[in-house]
Amino acid sequence: MDAPAVSTEDPRWSAIDTEPYGLLIGGRITPSAAGATFPAVSPRDDRVVAQIAEAGAADVDAAVSAARAAVDEGPWGKAKPKDRAGALNRIARLIEVHADELAFLEAIDAGKPVSAVHHSDITMSLDALEFFAGRAIALRGSAAVMPDNAVIHHQIVEPLGVVAEILPWNGPLWTGVQRMAAILAAGNAAIMKPAQLASLSFARLAQILLEADLPPGAVGVLTGPGSTVGEALVEDPRVDLISLTGGIESGARVLAHAASSVKRVSLELGGKNPNIIFADADFDLTAMWTTIGAFSNTGQVCVCGSRALVERPIYERMVEELARRAEAMVVGDPLDPKTELGPVIGRGHAAKVWDYIEIGKKESRLVTGGVPYTDAVRSKGCYIPPTIFADAAPTCRIAREEIFGPVLTVIPFDTLDEAIRISNDTSYGLSSGVFTCDLDKAWTVSRRLKAGQVYVNTWFGPVLEEPAQGYKQSGYGGVGIEKYMQAKNVFFRVGS
């Protein structure tokens, strides 16, 4: 559809600071020690919208020192569970107050439609803060009966200490708030490192956190490139855990740098997620969820269903319906409330997606999309139309490699065994889907799929109540609040 337009007189632009956004270190907003900054470039029109402090080695050292002091001898390390819960609830109320501003910054910096930020990202951030506030109070150890009746056992769960969380660019606000909430609920200090491509909303959140009455060092925010900030955090022996959400290449670099110190690492990585559609599925429901699963956030979601495996009897009909729905999606300026899909994150990533589209044209049948926009609004930014390829062989590059854009590859299959074989023939194992009205079939397929999440007759699932670890190269090192904690087993004798 045609791109919506946004007035150039939009008053929300006044929310952006004219001075560079600073770092949060030791309870203060400060410029980088070297005075370096980098530009926040909006993918909506390739325009620089703000300047952000670029942290260096000295800033990492200061942030880690402040975090260590907060948990080792400071008030955060001594905080009671109810105090940690109270801190999270205060942050939630502040985000509610600043929701419009944060949504605007996320839209212009990450390209997410502002209505989607309100509907999902702000909502998920608030849910996470409230959920983990409850978890902070409800954390429990355990006890086991020992072979010797005179020995009593208690397992105590304790915080790890200082956690460095490296965020992705596809959902920096909600992923950052969710991880930060879990880290703090467990009693750790959190050093948050937003992706350089999408740092603006979290840089503003750092300022807002000053109003939450947190002890200095409980939360730090360091913006800048992963090659300097991220690696310095990984190599600092005072950091107890590195947690990263991102691509396999970034995860591999973290593991390599952490190996020498045997530092704890947790990685939530990518996927090439299959969506198996059987002929007996509810056709309209399936088409709706397949479209949502493939193109949400312009295909920039780790669990997007980027491969649709469709049983032969409904194959052509499903391809036509998916194309119709894709063509009806409103692609345009993320500041317009009618926009459904905004631009991809930036020029570099857009070029990668366009390269895959050209590869797909040689490997399979282009059904819809695949052609750059030429109108005045979208031609200036990083906009890519929802693109569908059909008749793809399972060995095609577009069927095997993570594109991370609005590209859906449709593959026909004839038997259940064939569908499972194609689905599992990948180095990834993050999520998957099954659409069928036969619950026995759904259960059989769910058990045989090698993926951490299986969606049956839906797409996307709860990430708070039931976090999932990806199979194979999609995940490593634990999930949820538990990965931020250490279990200690205590045994003591009480009698002879």
Give which of 140, 415, 113 is closest to 278, Cα–Cα. 415
* DSSP H or E stretch at residue 66: helix 57-72
Residue type for 21, please? Y
φ, ψ (nearest 5 deg) of residue 258: -85, -15
- State the catalytic residue, choosing from 54, 106, 165, 268: 268
Query: Active site includes 268?
Result: yes
Sheet of strand 241-245, all strands in order from the earlier edge strand to the far edge: 28-30, 23-25, 219-221, 189-193, 162-166, 241-245, 264-268, 475-476
* Residue 202: other Cβ atoms inside 10 A: 29
N-term to C-term CA, the chain: 80
- State the catalytic residue, choosing from 54, 106, 165, 302: 302
Cβ 178 vs Cβ 124: under 8 Å: yes
Within 8 A by CB and 6+ apart from 353, the residues are 344, 384, 403, 404, 405, 406, 407
**Rounded CA gap, 345 and 471, in Å?**
27
Q: Helix (H, G, I), strand (E, B), or coil: what is residue 232?
A: helix
Query: Active site includes 437?
Result: no
Parallel, antiparallel, or unpaired for β 475-476 and 264-268? Answer: antiparallel
Cβ 274 vs Cβ 309: under 8 Å: yes
What DSSP string describes 414-454? Answer: SSHHHHHHHHH-SS--SEEEEE-S-HHHHHHHHHH---SEE
Spell out the long-range contacts of 388-395 with Cβ–Cβ below 8 A and sequence spacing 24 or more. 388/319, 388/322, 388/323, 388/326, 389/360, 389/363, 389/364, 389/365, 390/319, 390/364, 390/365, 391/364, 391/365, 392/360, 392/363, 392/364, 393/363, 393/364, 394/422, 394/425
Instruction: Catalogue the active-site residues.
Output: 268, 302
